[in-house]
């Protein structure tokens, strides 16, 4: 019973980090839009860094079923490609059929990121739950690692939602809804016990494929829309900072 308490308290703290976007509510809409090109670059760096430095090593660390991990990542790319196709199709039909201008503003990448991040948060919760089943010490260490990992990623997620057309308030609450799936993941891990561990590598691979697709096909083209030399250099620096943040977490894990 104590393990359940520790695990659930830890994952609730992790989920509350999604409200880091509340800081942006103090910015005016105009000011937020002015720095959005930098936030999108930071988000791109954190997604690429997360996949290359955290998810892929975790997927292939066991040294077996590498082909299954690779297939899972390719499946993630194909699934998110198909989802975006569907969302674009749905978006175009809504534009034709609906006269409400607010109904048109959300770009598919916003919904894609919520799905991918929701899957990632579900896995984070499952990993926290499985870690506490191993021992409280491992559970607390894993929670700290997840918290450090989540802070830069949540900032990036907020930027992606804003860039996709979400209002600041909706971005905060949808991000929080996605983060709450970590609690579901923890409960499932605690209920299923060691069975959970069998599904984690493949599901991580799906999430990695989704993040690669979002960063490569949706965010990088957004970065290329900025052509001014000074802003492009600032963007590149923000991209490097996002990768560096992910790398720095390796030193703390």
- Asked if the structure places residue 22 within a domain, the reply is no
- Asked if the structure places residue 169 within a domain, the reply is yes
For 163, residues 6+ apart whose C-beta sits below 8 A from its C-beta are: 36, 39, 40, 107, 109, 110, 222
Tell me the mean pLDDT per 10 residues along the chain, length 253.
Answer: 86 83 66 78 85 82 73 87 70 47 62 81 81 74 69 75 82 86 89 72 78 83 89 94 84 65
pLDDT of residue 98: 45
- Asked if the structure places residue 198 within a domain, the reply is yes
Of 53, 24, 20, 27, nearest in space to 154 by CA:
20
pLDDT of residue 89: 58
- Asked if the structure places residue 21 within a domain, the reply is no
Q: Return d(Cα 171, Cα 64) in angstroms, integer.
A: 39
- Asked if the structure places residue 27 within a domain, the reply is no
Containing structural domain, residue 175: 2-14+32-252
pLDDT of residue 95: 44
pLDDT of residue 145: 65
pLDDT of residue 237: 95
pLDDT tens-place string over residues 22-57: 676 666 667 767 777 888 888 888 888 888 887 788
For 243, residues 6+ apart whose C-beta sits below 8 A from its C-beta are: 45, 46, 48, 49, 53
Q: What are phi and psi of 63, to 5 degrees?
A: 75, 15
The count of domains in the chain is 1
pLDDT of residue 54: 79
- Asked if the structure places residue 235 within a domain, the reply is yes
- Asked if the structure places residue 203 within a domain, the reply is yes
pTM of the predicted model, to two decimals? 0.68
pLDDT of residue 104: 46
pLDDT of residue 102: 40
């Amino acid at each position: 019973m104590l393990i359940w308490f520790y695990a659930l308290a830890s994952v609730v703290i992790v989920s509350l980090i999604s409200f880091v976007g509340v800081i942006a509510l103090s910015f005016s809409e105009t000011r937020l839009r002015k720095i959005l090109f930098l936030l999108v670059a930071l988000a791109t760096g954190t997604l690429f860094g997360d996949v290359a430095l955290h998810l892929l090593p975790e997927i292939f660390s066991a040294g077996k079923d590498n082909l299954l991990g690779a297939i899972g990542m390719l499946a993630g790319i194909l699934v998110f490609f198909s989802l975006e196709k569907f969302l674009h199709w749905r978006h175009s039909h809504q534009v034709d059929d609906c006269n409400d201008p607010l109904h048109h503003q959300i770009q598919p990448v916003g919904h894609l990121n919520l799905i991918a991040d929701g899957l990632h948060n579900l896995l984070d919760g499952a990993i926290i739950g499985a870690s506490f089943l191993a021992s409280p010490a491992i559970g607390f260490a894993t929670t700290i690692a997840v918290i450090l990992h989540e802070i830069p990623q949540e900032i990036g997620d907020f930027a992606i939602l804003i860039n996709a057309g979400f209002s600041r308030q909706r971005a905060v609450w949808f991000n929080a809804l996605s983060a709450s799936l970590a609690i579901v993941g923890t409960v499932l891990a605690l209920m299923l016990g060691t069975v959970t561990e069998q599904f984690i590598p493949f599901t991580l691979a799906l999430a990695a494929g989704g993040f690669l697709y979002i960063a490569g096909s949706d965010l990088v083209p957004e970065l290329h829309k900025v052509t001014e030399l000074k802003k492009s250099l600032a963007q590149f620096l923000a991209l490097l900072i996002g990768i560096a943040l992910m790398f720095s977490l390796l030193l703390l894990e």
